[in-house]
Chains A and B, each alone.
Chain A
Amino acid sequence: MSLTIPAEYATVAGLIGGGVAALFTLDEDHLREVGHTLGVFARQATPSLAGAEQAATVFTSATSGATRDEFAGHWNTLASEGHTGRLVRIANWGSTALGAIAQAIELAKMGVLAWLGWSTAQLAIAAFTGVGVIAAATSALLRARTSIGSITTKLFTHLRGTVAQTIRRASDQLKDILNKLPNLGPKPRLALAGHGPTPSATPKGGTRLSSSWASPGKRKAADEAMQRRRAAQESIKRLGKEIEDLEQQNHQFRQAIRSLKREIQGMREENAELILRIRDPHMSVWSAKSYGELLDRQTKLSQSHQREISSLEKAINANLVSIGSKRIAQTTERRNL
């Protein structure tokens, strides 16, 4: 359940104002649920995509001539792991990102609650001990307002800046994928260049299955050569786009790494401050406990950021390998031109 402002802190929250109300309108549990849903999709889709890729390879090796060319053309441009693989990677990224955003919101809320608790205690002390302490309570409230302001400003700057931009970029990539996938409507039928099978055609003998899927009768050698050239051109273009996408993705991964490193650095500084506060002998047990929990959370978040950085670095390396193999494939295809 998302953290909310307890009733006993409501008065102080009202006095402090600032971004407290806005912060508590954020629902971190909702973000976690959405992230979890995306993660489940990515985990379920991955083996199916691998199976489809394998099936396409088996089918391609079992067919020949125009059938194979038509199928390979369709597979490479529409159905191959390329677009859908990107889609699943985005879902995976979304799952991790939303989980991290939810954690950041929760941490901010915990920090604010710790300050609200402390301020409520200061006001209660002032109410019992008399006018002399009111000045100290007011000063405490002002300190709490500054600190809470800093927490909420930092969070909202992060949400409106890096997070919003990254989600927008992911949405742009999804739009690009949707533009490339054909809109088949609710009941899709043959998608292979609009050609249906011709049952009357007799398959020829040989070591490969040869049907007349794409066109009746034999094609002339010149037509085939032209088709090969066109396929090679399309393949080079597609590979180029895929390389571009991977480079773009690596760029985003590097940006994400830089942002995570900055956050880790920020948390280190905050942790040092928290440790000092915890060691303060005047700190109440409750506040020290809250700070301790906050410290523990921040330490865990730093560790999770560190893991994310190393997985992003691995993804960058995998992309670099993939870019290399695609460049080799481009060179091979150029020989067919």
Chain B
Amino acid sequence: MTDQAGMSMAFDAAQRGCGEMTRSVQGYAGAATGLRTGLEACGGGTQQDPELVVLLAEFTGLLSQAADRSAQVYAATADGMADTVTAVRQAEAASAAQVDAAQVHAKGAT
């Protein structure tokens, strides 16, 4: 296998991983949003036991906050992966353009 072929396969795999990450991140973000809106919709019910109300509010609040925070971390990871793939693609294009320019220059010299 040539370097170029190997490179292309690895690039495809990275791009595939990036796409899969984006889809998974969207799924997780949807679940986190569903959790937040679901808990908001539940409200406090008619619960009047002060200790239980406080415990529940803290527990569900922290859970929702942690779900949102982890969704952000996942989103940032997917963004980072996408940026890397884009950067490599741009670098490849620039490299190819340099090679073309060098060949044109060589032809001109002969």
Q: Which A positions have Cβ atoms within 8 angstroms of B?
A: 2, 22, 25-27, 29-31, 33-34, 37-38, 40-41, 44-45, 47-52, 54-63, 67, 71, 74-75, 78-79, 83-84, 87, 90-91, 94, 159-160, 164, 167-168, 170-171, 174-175, 177-178, 181-185, 188-192, 196-203, 205-209, 211, 213
Q: Please name all residues of chain A whose beta carbon is closer than 8 Å to the beta carbon of B48 when the two chains form the complex.
A: 25-27
Query: Is B24 touching A55 in the complex (CB atoms < 8 A)?
Result: yes
Partner of A48, one of B27, B59, B77, B86: B27
Query: Is B17 touching A56 in the complex (CB atoms < 8 A)?
Result: yes
The answer to the question of B110 belonging to the interface, with a C-beta cut-off of 8 Å to chain A, is: no
Q: Please name all residues of chain B whose beta carbon is closer than 8 Å to the beta carbon of A91 when the two chains form the complex.
A: 35, 63, 67
Query: Is A30 touching B55 in the complex (CB atoms < 8 A)?
Result: no
Query: Is B84 touching A211 in the complex (CB atoms < 8 A)?
Result: yes
Q: Please name all residues of chain A whose beta carbon is closer than 8 Å to the beta carbon of B17 when the two chains form the complex.
A: 55-60, 62
The answer to the question of B92 belonging to the interface, with a C-beta cut-off of 8 Å to chain A, is: yes
Query: Is B84 touching A213 in the complex (CB atoms < 8 A)?
Result: yes
Q: Please name all residues of chain A whose beta carbon is closer than 8 Å to the beta carbon of B47 when the two chains form the complex.
A: 25-27, 30-31
Query: Is B67 touching A61 in the complex (CB atoms < 8 A)?
Result: no
Chain B 32-81 interface residues, beta-carbon cutoff 8 Å to A:
32, 34-35, 38-39, 41-49, 51-52, 55-56, 58-60, 62-63, 65-67, 69-70, 72-77, 79-81
> Known: A51-B23, A211-B91. Contact between A175 and B39, CB under 8 A?
no
Q: Please name all residues of chain B whose beta carbon is closer than 8 Å to the beta carbon of A83 when the two chains form the complex.
A: 70
Partner of A47, one of B3, B9, B27, B46: B27
Partner of B87, one of A58, A87, A197: A197
Q: Which residue of B lies closest to A196 (CB)?
A: B83
Most buried by B among A40, A63, A182: A63
Q: Count chain B residues whose beta carbon lies closer than 8 angstroms to a beta carbon of A.
A: 70
Query: Is B11 touching A38 in the complex (CB atoms < 8 A)?
Result: no
- A94, B94: Cα distance in complex, Å: 53
Query: Is A184 touching B28 in the complex (CB atoms < 8 A)?
Result: no
A35 CB to nearest B CB, Å: 10
Q: Please name all residues of chain B whose beta carbon is closer than 8 Å to the beta carbon of A37 when the two chains form the complex.
A: 34-35, 38-39, 41-42
> Known: A30-B46, A33-B42, A159-B52. Contact between A183 and B69, CB under 8 A?
yes
> Known: A164-B55, A171-B59. Contact between A87 and B70, CB under 8 A?
yes
Q: Please name all residues of chain A whose beta carbon is closer than 8 Å to the beta carbon of B11 when the two chains form the complex.
A: 62, 209
Q: Please name all residues of chain B whose beta carbon is closer than 8 Å to the beta carbon of A2 when the two chains form the complex.
A: 45-46
Partner of A190, one of B19, B23, B25, B79: B79
> Known: A62-B17, A94-B59. Contact between A199 and B91, CB under 8 A?
yes
Q: Please name all residues of chain A whose beta carbon is closer than 8 Å to the beta carbon of B49 when the two chains form the complex.
A: 22, 25-26, 159
- A74, B52: Cα distance in complex, Å: 38
